[in-house]
Amino acid sequence: MTGNGQGNGRNDSVGTSYVKVDAWERVTGRAEYAADVRTPNALHAKVLRSPHPHAIIKSIDVSRAEQLSGVKAIITSKDFPSMDELKDSFGGELMVNARDLRRMVLADDKVLFDGHGVAAVAATSLEIAEAALDLITVEYEILPVINSTADALKPDAPLLHPDVYTKTLKETPDKPSNLASYVESGWGDVDKGFAEAAVIVERSFDSMMVHQGYLEPQACTARWDNEVCTVWTSTQGTFNGQRMVSTLLQVPLHQVNFVPTEIGGGFGGKIYTLVEPIAMLLARKAGRPVKFVMDRSEVFRATGPGSPQQSTVKVGARKDGTIVAAQGSLVMDAGAFPGAPVAGASMVTFGPYKMEHFKLEAYDVVTNKPRVQAYRAPGGTPAAFGVEVVMDEIAEKLGMDPLEFRKINAVSEGDPSTNGRPLPKVGLKEVLGQVEGSPHWNAPLEGENRGRGLALGFWNGAVAMSSATINVNVDGTVEVVSGHVDLTGTRTTMTQMAADMLQLPPERVSARVTDTASGTYTDVTGGSRTVYTQSQAIYNACESVLNEMKALAADQLKLNEDDIEYADGAFSAKGNPETTLSWDELAGRSRTRGNGPISGYGTSGRLKGAPAFAAHLADVEVDPDTGKVKILRYTCFQDVGKAINPAMVEGQIQGGAVQGLGWALSEYYHYEDGKLRNPTLLDYRMLTALDLPMIDTEIVEVPADDSPYGARGVGEVPIIPPAAAVESAIYRAVGVRMTQLPMTPERVFWALHDDGSEQ
Amino acid sequence: MKVPVRFSVNGDDRDLYIGAHKTLMEVLRDDLELTGTKEGCGNGNCGACTINLDGKAVNACLILGVEADGHEVQTIEGVSEDGTLHPLQQAFIEESALQCGFCTPGFIMSAKVFLEQNPSPSEQEIRTAIAGNLCRCTGYDKIVRAIQAAAKLA
Ligand code: FES
Ligand code: FES
């Protein structure tokens, strides 16, 4: 059975690599992204950003800037409504409370990171807006900088926030702290477990801040027409964004319309409204539309990067290879405001493994860096890095093949997940079986300084709310309308699924993403949830369409509804296929003879989770003279439940794996005393085509229990294993264990040439 | 200060008064409304703004509009002819070589110039040719395959 079987294979639109429905616009340059939006009479915005990572704002003097010809509005945090009323928290992938979000957009009394916005200007040209920034005088009182979580947790550390008290399940502390929260999870008694272990490995790991690296910088245009504001923007969630600005600006939801443009990548980083409130406030003050486009250095300095982690992982196993105890501690850097991805990281850390005794502690710590946002499997990559490296080492100590060790300990249906609840049907064992039989695993790897590494990844998959409306036109063509922002193919998969469920050729279906004013609510596109939950919403909408069509057919054929059956575009009398009306004929009659237009609406919000597992294999060659690691061959194995569109599934897996490889090898925020030294795409090194081989994918399909096709989320798992797969390969190539990300040539070189202590 | 320039864009002669400090990317996007040329970085490090200038692939954010005076510019908008997609455009669609698509115009412009000079390249030559273009969504695999496929088609 496929999932709950509801949408099962009605025609072959699902499971084929149907061409992306919006590809033509993209290859011709017609697709309209946020910075491409043109609005008559629009002003251009620029933001003045703090050069100091931590300072009190003593005064801001905008009077000279206001005098500059062409300047139409200037705002500071004082232009937001008073903050006492801003208590809401917002979801998306990482929660943030409204007051913190507001202070992320423009600093209040204090700047908390290099690049923190202080004031914003709207002017008739970008040049004038830039010149105006130079005329604003800000008086700062510089404060000591908290560079790292280690700095932040020192007993005498200066506090970022006098009102942050550590949240725990235990009693509330009486003093404020840079430790915003502490979470513990697990079961059993790890000390007892370790006492029974034949082999124990314990190591500490470190990683640095990284960026999602979406190629399109944040951008938006805001226009007020009387009381109503239209915002064209690049966002992963229009309804989520609409709610954030509505709260921040105290404007009711029906007076804000978020219009999603094409989005040039998000990866979790385009959920918070970091640009929209600025454009909206400036536009309201100036009485003209305002366009605000971030430049790349602003994207690096002042959006929400991915959280770095310091972790310690300890695992004990019996002689037979079973894991008896696993323990971890994750110290996570949230940046300037509380909210590191503690939950995600805790969930994935030991996710693939059965453990008798298990304990995990996670810390959410504030530092003088931009507040992190979600980044593809938030928290997962650095957490899994430590775990998988330790698992590799344990296998080695036991004299066991790393795949064999994984097979012994792999979780399956009914085993407790890291949150304690039993896992639904999952495909980890099948993934490992696929590895075992694969050409890559079985190909010999020869040559000096070469090695092969294996690592696993797990992501639980979010669920949340989705919805869709399906309208039948009088010519029988079909429109799917949804508020789900299309990041990497939502319109295409919606087209395929609706075509399958309605048993129509996909060419007769089109799918559109609507604005908040004309579509119904959906949560953000993210968390590897979109196809999964949207499939159920589409199914429900299609059911309702089919019911209406059947009612009309019954009426026209003078039969009972129960006597009508539908197949392949025709409504016929049961047992009498001669009495029939085609889909198109019936659609045509709907205008004049039915109860009104045929339209179905479907929602979904109560699916079970659909956890996904992956294994990656990396072959590398290490140059001992330079420390450079070259990826020779790379294969991703992943249980996707059901590949609605195999080519797009492969593409998402390949892209995720390569982001993970960038995190493994070259990407990091280079801070010196709180100042970001590499806010360019030259010095922040994302991998290029030249750094990589082809990325092979092997898709495994173990359908999830729930949803019409049993499709599991694909997007996030592939970023989790690469760092550890590469590390294990490096170890096998040259015999050194790397414990810091990224594993740059310098670090590998020093690991090889020094006494092993990394620089 | 504004200065007069004349250059050909996608086959049409254009006479413009442009700000002397404006990059060619800004002139194309803002003055000519050819927004298919994308800005990913503004300083030559992402390739999203790649255009064809007199048969060379260049980053439009790294040259001034005034430098285009007297030259021939082709942008992504000029690549398909009479509504027929160029083999590269066709191959990018068929090979699923795009996700968000923000990088796509730049890759197609780089690859087009490259294939004109090297019609049957090796995988490594393709990777070198597009090393100045960043893509964050695809991991490049399908982009390399699309360029290989286009080379076979042409
Ligand atoms: S915008 Fe020109 S290279 Fe990035
Ligand atoms: S497809 Fe998104 S950056 Fe290339």
- What digits encode the pLDDT tens for the residues A468-485? 999 999 999 999 999 989
- Asked, as a colleague might, if the bond just before A742 is cis with ω within 30 of 0, I would say yes
Q: Which of A29, A215, A296 sits opposite B76 (nearest CB)?
A: A29
**By the CB < 8 Å criterion, does B87 face chain A?**
no
For β-strands A290-293 and A43-49, DSSP reports them as parallel
DSSP E strand boundaries for A623-745? 629-639, 671-672, 675-676, 695-700
Write a three-state SS string for A342-384: HHHHHHHCCCCECCCEEEEEEEEEECCCCCCCCCCCCCHHHHH
Q: ipTM more than 0.95?
A: yes
**By the CB < 8 Å criterion, does B2 face chain A?**
no
Give the distance from residue B151's alpha carbon to the nearest chain A alpha carbon, in angstroms: 17
Residue B102 Cβ < 6 Å to ligand 2: yes
Q: Is A399 exposed, middle or buried (0-12, 13-18, 19+ CB in 10 A)?
A: exposed
Residues of chain A with C-beta less than 8 angstroms from the C-beta of B140: 658, 688-689, 692
Mean per-residue pLDDT of chain A: 94
Closest-CA residue to A478 (of A456, A455, A497): A497
- CA terminus-to-terminus distance, chain B: 45
What pLDDT band is residue A754 in, cutting at 50, 70 and 90?
A: confident
Closest-CA residue to A341 (of A527, A478, A512): A527
Residue B141 Cβ < 6 Å to ligand 2: no
Q: Which amino acid is at A295?
A: D
CB pairs under 8 A between A and B: 183
To which residue do tokens 């003045």 refer? A48
Predicted local distance difference test score (pLDDT) of residue A461: 78
Q: Which atom of ligand 1 lies nearest, measured to the CA of B39?
A: 1
Report the residue among B102, B109, B141 best suited for mutation to probe ligand 2: largest number of ligand atoms under 8 A from its CB. B102
Predicted local distance difference test score (pLDDT) of residue A465: 86
To which residue do tokens 């090796």 refer? B122
How close is the Cα of A197 to the center of ligand 1, in Å?
A: 55
User: CB–CB of A327/A311 below 8 Å?
Assistant: no
Distances (CA, A) of A557 to A10, A553, A593, B101: 24, 6, 12, 48
What pLDDT band is residue A629 in, cutting at 50, 70 and 90?
A: very high
8 Å CB contact of A23 and B98:
yes
Predicted local distance difference test score (pLDDT) of residue A168: 86
Average pLDDT over residues A18-41: 96
Compute the distance between CA of residue A350 and CA of residue A327 in angstroms, rounded to an integer: 9
Least CA distance to B41: which residue of chain A?
Answer: A296
Residues of chain A with C-beta less than 8 angstroms from the C-beta of B93: 19-20, 23-24, 27
Average pLDDT over residues A44-60: 98
What pLDDT band is residue A441 in, cutting at 50, 70 and 90?
A: very high
What pLDDT band is residue A85 in, cutting at 50, 70 and 90?
A: low
Which of the residues in chain B have pLDDT under 70?
none
**By the CB < 8 Å criterion, does B101 face chain A?**
yes
Compute the distance between CA of residue A503 and CA of residue A481 in angstroms, rounded to an integer: 18
- What domains are defined for chain A? 23-31+463-605 (3.30.365.10), 438-454+609-753 (3.30.365.10)
Predicted local distance difference test score (pLDDT) of residue A463: 76
Compute the distance between CA of residue A487 and CA of residue A529 in angstroms, rounded to an integer: 12
Give the distance from residue A133's alpha carbon to the nearest chain B alpha carbon, in angstroms: 19
Residue B99 Cβ < 6 Å to ligand 2: yes
Average pLDDT over residues A547-566: 94
Q: How many CB atoms lie within 10 A of CB A157?
A: 16
Report the residue among A27, A215, A681 best suited for mutation to probe ligand 2: largest number of ligand atoms under 8 A from its CB. A215
Supply A468's token pair.
Answer: 């869709």
Residues of chain B with C-beta less than 8 angstroms from the C-beta of A213: 136
Compute the distance between CA of residue A733 and CA of residue A449 in angstroms, rounded to an integer: 4
Supply A218's token pair.
Answer: 């944040």
Q: How many CB atoms lie within 10 A of CB B8?
A: 16
Residues of chain A with C-beta less than 8 angstroms from the C-beta of B142: 647, 650-651, 654
- CA terminus-to-terminus distance, chain A: 53
Nearest ligand to the CA of A487 is 2
Its pTM stands at: 0.96
Residues of chain B with C-beta less than 8 angstroms from the C-beta of A236: none
Supply A344's token pair.
Answer: 């995600």
**By the CB < 8 Å criterion, does B121 face chain A?**
no
More confident residue, A711 or A619: A619
Residue B78 Cβ < 6 Å to ligand 1: no
Predicted local distance difference test score (pLDDT) of residue A688: 98
pLDDT in tens, A289-315: 999 999 999 999 999 999 999 999 999
- What domains are defined for chain B? 2-77 (3.10.20.30), 87-153 (1.10.150.120)
How close is the Cα of A372 to the center of ligand 2, in Å?
A: 22
pLDDT at A758 over 50: no
Which residue's alpha carbon is at the smallest distance from atom 3 of ligand 2? B135
8 Å CB contact of A27 and B137:
no
Compute the distance between CA of residue A598 and CA of residue A581 in angstroms, rounded to an integer: 16
Interface test mutation site (partner A, options B30, B76, B100, max chain A beta carbons within 10 A): B100
